[in-house]
Structures are given as C-alpha cells and as structure tokens.
C-alpha cells in the first residue's frame, strides 16, 4: 500500500476536527509534519488542534512556525498573540499582534486582542486606543463597546462610558453586562455613587457588586470560585474567536471559491458545504457553552451577601 500523501493526511485531519476528535487530528497532522516539516499549512492545522486540546505551549510553537515559514500570514500572528496572552506572555503577545497590524491595518480582531492584552498589562490608555481603532473598523462590535466602556469607567470618564454601554445594548439588546455597566456609569455621572472610593474603582461597572462588598476572610471560597468562573468564561470566549478565525472564515472562503468556480466536481462542493456546516455547528455549540458560563458567573455574583444581611 502506498504511503499517504501530506494532502491526504491533512484532509483526514480536518475530517477528524469536524468529527470533534482533535486528538486524532493531532496524530494525523504530526504524521504530515514528519513528511513535510516546512509546510505552514500543516503547522497551522496542528496549532489549531493543540489549542482545542488546551496545549497552549504547543499551539504557540506551531503558530510561530507558521510565521517563520510564511512571514506574511496575518492570521497566524493574530492567533499567536491570542495564545501568548493566555500563556501570560504579554510582551510577546503585543509584539505578535502589532506585527499583524503592520501587515494588515484593517484586521479588527488584531486591535481587539491588543486591547485585551494592554488592559492586562495595565496600559489603559493604549488599550483604549486599540478598542477605538477596532470600533473605527467595525462600529458594530458589541464586545469592543463593552470593554471600552469598562475602561472609560475605570478612568472616571462616565459620560463616554455611557455612550459605549448604550451602543453595546443597541447591538445586543438585553445584554446584562452592558445594562449593569450603563446603570453604574449613569449613577456615577450623576453623583449617586462615589467612584473615587478604592473598592468601587476596583469593582468596575459591575452593577450590583458595587453594593455588595465582599470580605475576603468570610467569603474567600466564593471569591475564589467566582474568579475561576470568570476565567473559564473568558477562555470559552477566546475559543469562539479561535473558531471564527481558524474554522468559520476558512470554510467560508473555501465555499465561496467552489461556488465561484463551479467547474469543479460536485463532490468537492458537497465537502465544502459539509465543512462550512460543521464550522457553524461548532460555533453554535461554543456560543451555548459561553452563555452557560456567563449565567454561572451571574449566579455566583448573586450569592454575595447584601449590606443589610
């Protein structure tokens, strides 16, 4: 039996991903890598499944290999920056994301991720600039409006924060985070609360939490649980970004190419449709998971005692 080609192994690996078997996909990509270690496509696929398996160090390694082999692959720099952020390698994350912007100044997700990293570094003004640039490119990015509102709230620029919370609610009606932020920002702007109090500034525009001070000694377990739940929710949110970048967007391009050039075999179009549907199904599933994580965080926040208890 003739040895399988790199292309054949990659096709099987993508099928394994569609079947939600990332471990099998990794084995296939590793076989392909043994045949062609200089293939940026193989490294990109391997990086993606490593990310799905939460093997972040390996994911970063292979995304970095893609940038070495294909220095103009913008998406690889964006993903590398996102993974470095999860690994707490913040300076490396900034460098990767800024390189992606140098290559393509219109990549909204690059500016958005840069905002996330700068906020973690404590570079609030730079984070604000990044989110504003993301919104200049895509004014309908609700998450960017929310995050920018939070940063402006922290800087006590409450009227501007109100504007962004309102925009977030227009784009995503009923969004609890945006609604709570809007209420807190309006109250701060009218002088109903004192944002210069250290505890309020640390809590940010979290709405009811401003009225529910927690005692670390008495509520340590609850605070720890809430912290882990927030990190978990953030991880699922980043997974959604990754799915959009590495699965949905490529499947859309592939399907578009099949439709534009219909002279290809019918079976090829059918496979494109299957991959597109699988990507959307995975995105929907992850969105539901994120919704559950957010509800869990909200439920835990409600467990804090009120001041009258």
Tens of pLDDT, residue by residue over 172-228, are: 999 999 999 999 999 988 875 444 433 323 333 333 333 334 444 444 455 555 555
Which of 66, 90, 110 is where one domain is finished? 66
**Residue at 83 is within a domain:** no
**Residue at 72 is within a domain:** no
pLDDT at 283: 76
**Residue at 22 is within a domain:** yes
**Residue at 101 is within a domain:** no
**Residue at 28 is within a domain:** yes
Structural domain for 50, as ranges: 1-66
Which of 66, 95, 110 is where one domain is finished? 66
**Residue at 54 is within a domain:** yes
CB atoms within 10 A of CB 254: 17
Query: What is the average pLDDT score of the chain?
Result: 81
pLDDT at 83: 96
**Residue at 43 is within a domain:** yes
CA dihedral (167, 168, 169, 173) positive or negative: positive
- How many domains does one find in the chain? 2
pLDDT at 251: 72
Spans of the chain, pLDDT less than 50? 1, 193-220, 265, 304-309
The per-residue pLDDT for range 271-300, each reduced to its tens digit, is 777 777 777 777 777 777 777 767 666 666
pLDDT at 262: 55
**Residue at 152 is within a domain:** no
């Amino acid at each position: 039996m003739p040895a399988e080609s790199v292309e054949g192994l990659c096709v099987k690996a993508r099928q394994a991903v569609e079947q939600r078997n990332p471990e099998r996909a990794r084995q296939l990509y590793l076989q392909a890598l043994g045949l062609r270690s200089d293939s940026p496509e193989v490294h990109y696929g391997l990086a993606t499944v490593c990310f799905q398996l939460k093997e972040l160090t390996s994911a970063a390694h292979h995304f970095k290999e893609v940038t070495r082999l294909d220095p103009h692959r913008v998406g690889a720099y964006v993903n590398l920056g996102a993974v470095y952020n999860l690994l707490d390698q913040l300076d490396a994350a900034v460098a990767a994301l800024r390189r992606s912007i140098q290559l393509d100044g219109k990549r909204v997700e690059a500016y958005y991720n840069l905002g996330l990293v700068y906020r973690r570094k404590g570079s609030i003004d730079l984070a604000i600039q990044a989110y504003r640039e993301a919104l200049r490119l895509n004014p309908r990015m609700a998450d960017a409006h929310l995050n920018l509102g939070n940063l402006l709230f922290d800087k006590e620029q409450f009227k501007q924060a109100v504007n962004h919370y309102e925009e977030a609610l227009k784009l995503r009606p009923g969004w609890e985070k945006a609604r709570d932020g809007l209420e807190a920002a309006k109250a701060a702007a009218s002088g109903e609360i004192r944002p210069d109090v250290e505890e309020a500034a640390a809590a940010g525009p979290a709405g009811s939490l401003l009225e529910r001070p927690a005692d670390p000694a008495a509520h340590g377990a609850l605070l720890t649980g809430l912290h882990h739940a927030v990190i978990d929710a953030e991880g699922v949110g980043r997974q959604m970004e990754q799915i959009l970048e590495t699965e949905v967007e490529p499947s859309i391009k592939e399907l578009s190419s099949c439709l534009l050039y219909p002279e290809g075999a019918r079976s090829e179009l059918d496979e494109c449709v299957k991959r597109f549907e699988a990507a959307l199904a995975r995105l929907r599933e992850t969105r539901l998971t994120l919704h559950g994580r957010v509800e869990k965080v909200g439920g835990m926040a409600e467990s804090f005692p009120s001041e009258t208890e």
